[in-house]
Structure 1
């Protein structure tokens, strides 16, 4: 049932499993980059991706699915099928709007990298320098255990820790002990699903500002000692508040001025304007073979003002916009002749930033790296960076080969279908076939 699957739905387990396959499979001849197909031949050039998209829609499992694939500075190739909703006649397209959920995290991570590059904060700077209430944190003696059996934090939380989920912070969609309830009671809730109260998705009433979110989070215990364990967390939501304090701007204004505007991302919102509602897809709950509307476009919770701009899961965007974000990254900070970020900031943000002291054993990240808000490959897999969202979206770049790929659809829980695993494998299969025929 939905209430038992929320944690799985909001997790990125499938993305991690797919990540190593993507990175290994993309170790192909970079000369393949020139072979991007004209739009009329896209399906022929990406047969496995096309078959995946067609299969989900033709079978009735999902009302729509769309993939974008791009090389270098070229416009993306698009494979799309279906309608924006079961009761929506508009065909899905590159300008349709999708709930990104955790695909918001890499954007927030790169916003932080801009400020680090400009010297306005440092990667290994203690968080308490910026948010003093985090100076004397307490840590659960047993992870996810008692809220009263606590020990002092042995080291400070740093900016690096926030970016890489190594701060020891909790997450109400991950924790299973009393800390989960404490997060919800305090309104430290990141992410929204529906206007309707649905068991498993209704986690209480969130606070109404990033400042309050940060202040209340500082009063809750950590799950792990900072810098010791990889643990998915609200670190990128808290980073939104850090960006506000360091930049002197609201978090959403900073994103607009420093990333969305310069990158040409004209359809990325924390709140979808009423005039753009017709482009918004609907989000569905999968129960068996049934699709039940969780967040219908016409009454979407994303049409209203969010409690606060959620840097971990709050953005709605179009495939065109997110492709432009990825294009900017593969251009090492440049897009369309305009510099958005420095090359150094992009290279650092897409590299492995996890502290060497961190253990990943037994976690989703075992044997993998993490950069500024997204997973990164290691060794021969270096250069692959990306993340996925809780409603079926996933996107990644291969910085070495200037490849970018994104998949967009809307359903929960994301464990219902293995799209996060299937899409990277389909991309790799098509590239491998292309290499064999070269």
Structure 2
């Protein structure tokens, strides 16, 4: 046994308390280590319940990009201008608090690598609305640029989305600063254009079908809506079963639009943990997975952070769509551990050194990185390791 039965019982009891006290409506957790899989289902959900996985979409979008790079259809350091002419000849704000027309020319073109590492020059601005003039300009365009939970019914179709985004100046020079979220949204449009298909169709061909992810997509088919759980925010209904994910969105959001199940996402996660293999089938090469899960940020970009002071600190970095642990400062912080969370109540990380993947799925919207449920889950996972 690679997992302690006593530790797993203690973990289940801890998770059940979070459900019983009303902190979340129900949850599914999966821990897989050295071929052993442990699943807990607590509350008003089932193992096959469909969840809105929010920003856990970002690693999937990055993996699709790596598949196309391996096929020679994209190159990491090529400018994106050919596929995204809306981003050619960028202008950059002279400062974040400048008026939107107070700009200078970009020093260089945006590349695919910039999109993957969130260094294209635009991302979430985590300040009260109205703090900076550019916030009002962006809000007026209704692009859903990352300052709140995903809302598929809001943004326009991809070409119009890119046209509107292309009217905004960059906030920083390309490659200069890590800023969250927007890189995945732009990347999704680029991948759709590169394949000549919708983002969802491209994901299905290159990832979902090879991995058997039959319940993952950008909306839930009518026949499966009974398996979609409701989502809450601040104790109130955020999205109903027949809500925003019950119909195909105009904009398939590479930064946060997917729905999935515990077993579907486990297939994706274990493929990465196996260095790109799913059973006997290779989905990505080992070098592609290693590149995707390596920290690409400079010391200055770590110091500048992207959410709040100390977000990266001395022990965290960013790969392609995933956070990467670079030093141990918590029980669960093994160097080389990677993964990401979702703002609607989801969390996933792989730990290659421990041959471990773990997933937590619930549906409570909010800024959850330090949510006690997450902390207790990951503490309990690592306390259950038995070898």
Per-residue CA shift, 1:252-273, capped at 9, x if unaligned? 1110010000001011020101
After superposition, the Cα gap between the structure-2 partners of 1:153 and 1:262, relative to the gap in structure 1 and judged at 3 Å, is: same
* Alignment match, 2:345: 392
Which residue pairs with 2:41 in the alignment?
A: 80
Where does 1:365-380 land on structure 2 (aligned, <5 Å)? 365-367=312-314, 368-378=316-326
Structure 1 length-normalised TM: 0.79
Deviation at 1:123, TM superposition (A): 1.4
Whether 1:212 and 2:160 are equivalent positions in the alignment is: yes
Counterpart of 2:137?
A: 182
Deviations 1:279-324 (A, max 9, x none): 11111122xxxx2212122x22100221211000100110111111
Is the CA contact 2:149–2:365 (under 8 Å) kept in the aligned structure 1? no
Match of 2:8 in 1: 46
Asked if 1 retains the 8 angstrom alpha-carbon contact of 2:18 and 2:373, the reply is no
Taking structure 2 as the reference length, the TM-score comes to 0.89
8 Å CA contact retained: 1:105, 1:312: yes
The equivalences for 1:28-177 within 5 A come to 35-36=2-3, 41=5, 44-74=6-36, 76-83=37-44, 92-171=45-124, 176=129, 177=132
Structure 2 CA distance for aligned equivalents of residues 425 and 82 of structure 1: 21
C-alpha contact (below 8 Å) 1:53/1:79 kept by paired residues: no
Contact 1:209 1:307 in 2 (8 A): yes
Distance 1:146 1:259 in 2: 42
- Contact 2:276–2:283 under 8 Å retained in 1: yes
Q: CA deviation at 1:175?
A: 7.6
- CA gap 1:191/1:143 in 2 versus in 1, 3 angstroms: closer
Which stretch shows the higher mean deviation, 386-395 or 210-219? 210-219
Q: Which residue of 1 aligns with 2:379?
A: 425
Structure 1 residue 409 corresponds to structure 2 residue 356 = no
Query: What is the rounded CA distance, in whole Å, between the counterparts of 1:179 and 1:72 in structure 2?
Result: 49
Contact 1:228 1:357 in 2 (8 A): no
| Structure 2 Cα separation of the partners of residues 204 and 396 of structure 1 | 25
Mapped to 2, the partners of 1:151 and 1:421 lie a distance apart of 43
Are 2:278 and 1:335 aligned?
Answer: yes
Determine if contact 1:228/1:358 at 8 Å carries over to the other structure. Answer: no
- The 1:255/1:72 distance shift into structure 2, 3 A limit, reads farther
Query: Offset of 1:204 from its aligned partner?
Result: 11
Shift of 1:155: 2.4
Change (3 A) 1:148 1:203: farther
Tell me how far apart the structure 2 counterparts of residues 111 and 350 of structure 1 sit (CA, whole Å). 14
Change (3 A) 1:359 1:122: same
- Is the deviation greater in 60-69 or in 312-321? 60-69
After superposition, what is the alpha-carbon deviation per residue over 1:336-372, rounded to whole angstroms, capped at 9, x for unaligned? 2222122221121111233x48522141223322111
Contact 1:230 1:358 in 2 (8 A): no
Whether 1:317 aligns to 2:270 is no
| Aligned equivalent of 2:209 | 261
For 1:110 and 1:144, how far apart are their aligned partners in 2? 35
Match of 1:294 in 2: 238
Shift of 1:275: 0.9
Q: Tell me how far 1:144 sits from its aligned partner.
A: 4.5
Contact 2:54–2:150 at 8 Å: present in 1 too?
no
Which residue pairs with 2:250 in the alignment? 307
Displacement, 1:121?
Answer: 1.3
Q: After superposing the two structures, state which structure 1 stretch, 262-271 or 398-407, moved more.
A: 398-407
1:348 aligns with 2:291: yes
> Match for residue 222 of structure 1?
170
Distance in 2 separating the partners of 1:276 and 1:181: 38
Distance apart, 1:379 and its partner CA: 5.7
SS of 1:313 mapped into structure 2: coil
Whether the 8 Å contact between 2:29 and 2:41 is mirrored in structure 1 is yes
Q: Is the 8 A contact 1:101 1:313 kept in 2?
A: yes
Select the residue among 247, 251, 264 that pairs with 2:195: 247
Q: Aligned pair count? A: 373
Give the superposition deviation at 1:190: 5.1
Taking a change above 3 Å as real, the CA distance of residues 191 and 360 of structure 1, as seen in their structure-2 partners, is closer
Distance 1:159 1:78 in 2: 37
